[in-house]
A and B are shown apart, each in its own frame.
Chain A
Amino acid sequence: MRNLIGKSVAIGAIAALALTATACGSGRDGDSGGSKGDTKGFASDSLIGVALPSKTSENWVLAGDLFTNGLKEAGFKSDVQYAGASTTVADQQAQITAMVTKGAKVIVIGATDAAQLSTQVAAAHQAGVKVIAYDRLITNTPDLDYYVAFDNFKVGQLQGQALLDGMKAKKPNGPYNVELFSGSPDDNNAGVFFDGAMSVLKPEIDKGNVVVTSKQTDVKQTAIQGWKAEGAQARMDQLLTSTYGSKELDGVLSPNDTLARAIITSIKGAGKPVPVVTGQDSEVESVKSIMAGEQYMTINKDTRNLVKQTIAMVKALQAGNTPEVNDTKSYNNGSKVVDTYLLPPVAVTKANAAEAYANDPKLAPLTK
């Protein structure tokens, strides 16, 4: 027994010592990162992290595939992650932290919630990782390095203009009755689309040429939480019942294709003629709808170009260069003005669809 006591104590002590030794071996990393890595670049086979929102639209799935393939072609190791369907924000936070731990050199983030990632972005910055916000600007953090997106204000302007053009083509003289929809309030872009569209529509509304019959013009009233189709359909149902019993609806400003189709479903369900409805994203179903003469327009923001541009930025960082940006003034995220590369969006109606999608293997056949 005595022997055993001795043995156990010895084993315990050795275990404790061994653990201590491994721990001591790690040492403490200094607060290096940040400034040090600025001009040097990094190894050409480094890990690049890509954190995307949950797979709720075709665009994100496509973007994920394009990133996986594009980064591989460029010689990088990639880690492309989607947030889960229910715990999106927490998933994305954990994924970004894991990418930093794994030693990613650049992290590209398509944020699920623009304002809830500042802690993780700060941790990445302190570890010397460059952070690029993809498509959605991350707000309230001074640690974001670059932003790459389509010009979303321009998207709104194109939608507003198309709405006016479309209604004029159907009925030469106003006043036109319209309703306004906007995207999810936690998506930073939703407000930008709406403001862009209103910059075109507001003068016409003030002149009385365009009438928002329900008088719901505030972004809080028009917003659809989570970009959910059922939300838009429900709101349109209610507008039709409350406002359009006898009046005619000429146009609907819809921020994207999913909502546009839901709005059209609602209007058809009520037995009314389909008005001019705008959209965005060039989703397959909406392109079909445009060719069938229901939805009036959509916006082509070719995800291929956006991913290509992002990978070009990653390559520039790898070589130790400053990535090309074309807007250093307009995107203030609440803490700083973020250097931005904006790609131009294209408005697509039935008239120019064939031309606009000529290079898109999935959409081109639909326009023939």
Chain B
Amino acid sequence: MSRLKDLQKNLFGGTTSNARQFGMIFTLVAIVVLFQILTDGLTLRSDNLIALFNQNSYILILAIGMLMVIVAGHIDLSVGSIAAFTGILVAKSMAEWSLPWPVAILFGLVIGAIIGAWQGFWVAYIGVPAFIVTLAGMLLFRGGNQFIGNANTIPVPEGFRLIGSGFLPEVGPSTGYNNLTLLLGLASCVAVVWREFQARKTRREMNADPAPMWISLLRLAVMVGVIVFASLRFASGRVGTSFPVSGIILVVLVLAYSFYTRNTAGGRHIYAVGGNSRAAELSGVKLKRVNFFVMMNMAVLASLAGMIFVARSAASGPQDGNGWELDAIAAVFIGGAAVAGGIGTISGSIVGGLVMAVLNNGLQLLGVGTDRVQIIKGLVLLLAVALDVYNKSQGRFSVIGSITRSFRRDTPTPPTSSSDAEREPARTAVSG
């Protein structure tokens, strides 16, 4: 086994890593560095990083749900309208029925669940294509938003704004940093280290080869380095700011859904349905239940995203949710999901969403107008997916292979093993 093969197999996301995902992380880092230079260091400044998360967490939350919908072979065009519909209902419930804000959030999630059940019913049990059901939903709930809100902008109370524009409180001794953010960073470092050694232990117990020690250490060094850097950055913003609350919600959701889609039977069923629904059904996957679940789950997440946006904007307005479905879908496809379903990961979609977010933010910092930003984003989406399609038709080409080819001369390996190394990512891609 060549060291480079070890590296590409093990460094990012364990053995299920694939070239595409590595390529996107590479792209993300490249874009960040590019803008960091072009904007004279504004991109990685604390306030900008905080703003980046505040501005995009709702889109990334949508991307989580959208990934599952797309993996299952569907699409959801109604997320923006559902977000707007929930937003106006929640805002009104607080303004007119004086619901306390935590109850209002629950109320919003319940609305999402009901809408999701409605759409899931048509998709899973009647068999109407999700494209049609959600196109109808897009009109239905946009109309509902205007009907209920009379196209007015309705402000929400201070407490509710926490989930969209809130920060962790300042507690403990004065360290020059936000202490809770530091604690979060520390906790994630510990979690990352613990997880790595736990994984090694599991592999040894199962008599599988654990990744070489140096790989584990390198991976830990990179991840801990990134976490330490990020938490110091987030903790050193203006007094009163920290890692944003909406970012925490996002991270919790990403972790939970990554675990669900990777490590549970229910999650794997989604991939099975998307890969080949007939085969999945014959092997005992409850097709209808899976389809129902992904549609319902999407609507709940859309409601949450809508509430976070309303909280961030301090008001629910008639323009909420316009075009969100497209941002979420773009994030998922840039993150490596297949248009036909069955392939894609939560982390990939988040990276895809972050690529768009950093691009957007960097161009805005440079003062590029929205017209040109849209043109650039459109091209990025097209190129990312075109690259994916091209890779598949070629079968052998791999982003990582092309990047690392020049380094490979000094590690002579037999030709068979080398082509193995190049084909590996393509094969493992399906397992996400």
Contacts and interface: CB of A to CB of B under 8 A. Distances in A.
Whether A associates with B in a native complex is: yes
Interface of A: 4-5, 8-9, 11-13, 15-16, 19-20, 22-24, 26-31, 54, 79, 81-84, 86-91, 93-95, 97-98, 100-102, 112-119, 126-127, 140, 184-186, 220, 223, 225-226, 334
Contacts of B151: 184-186, 223, 225
A112 B317 CA distance: 10
B153 interface: yes
Contacts of B177: 28
A15 B55 contact: no
A94 B370 CA distance: 11
B3 to A, nearest CB: 7
A225 B318 contact: yes
B222 A12 contact: yes
Contacts of A98: 48, 51, 361, 364-365
B55 A9 contact: no
B225 A86 contact: no
B221 A82 contact: no
A97 B55 contact: yes
26 contacts: A5-B214, A8-B218, A9-B221, A12-B218, A16-B224, A16-B225, A27-B236, A28-B177, A31-B239, A81-B367, A87-B319, A93-B313, A95-B370, A97-B55, A102-B42, A113-B319, A115-B153, A115-B154, A115-B315, A118-B313, A119-B161, A119-B165, A127-B47, A127-B238, A185-B150, A225-B318
Interface of B: 3, 42, 45-48, 51, 54-55, 146, 150-155, 161, 164-165, 176-177, 213-214, 217-218, 220-222, 224-226, 228-229, 232-233, 236-240, 309, 312-315, 317-320, 322-324, 327, 360-361, 364-365, 367, 369-371, 373-374
B370 A15 contact: no
Contacts of B228: 16, 19-20, 23
A29 B42 contact: no
A65 B51 CA distance: 28
B264 to A, nearest CB: 32
B239 A28 contact: yes
Which 8 A-B pairs have CB atoms at the shortest separation, nearest pair first?
Answer: A12-B221, A16-B225, A23-B232, A116-B313, A84-B370, A19-B229, A115-B153, A5-B214
Contact of B225 (A15, A26, A101): A15
B239 A30 contact: yes
Given A31-B240, A90-B55, A225-B318, A12 B47 contact: no
Nearest to A97: B51
Nearest to A223: B151
Given A15-B221, A28-B176, A185-B152, A115 B314 contact: yes
Contacts of B220: 12
A171 B237 CA distance: 68
B365 A101 contact: yes
B48 A116 contact: no
A154 to B, nearest CB: 24
Contact of B152 (A12, A79, A89, A186): A186
B153 A28 contact: no
Nearest to B152: A185
Contact of A116 (B315, B364, B365): B315
A102 B365 contact: yes
Contacts of A116: 153, 313-315, 317
A13 B228 CA distance: 12
Contacts of A117: 313
Nearest to B39: A102
Contacts of B218: 8-9, 11-12
A346 B215 CA distance: 75
B319 A93 contact: no
Nearest to B146: A225
A31 B240 CA distance: 8
A20 B221 CA distance: 12
Contacts of A79: 367
Given A101-B48, A220-B150, A89 B155 contact: no
B336 to A, nearest CB: 24
A186 B229 contact: no
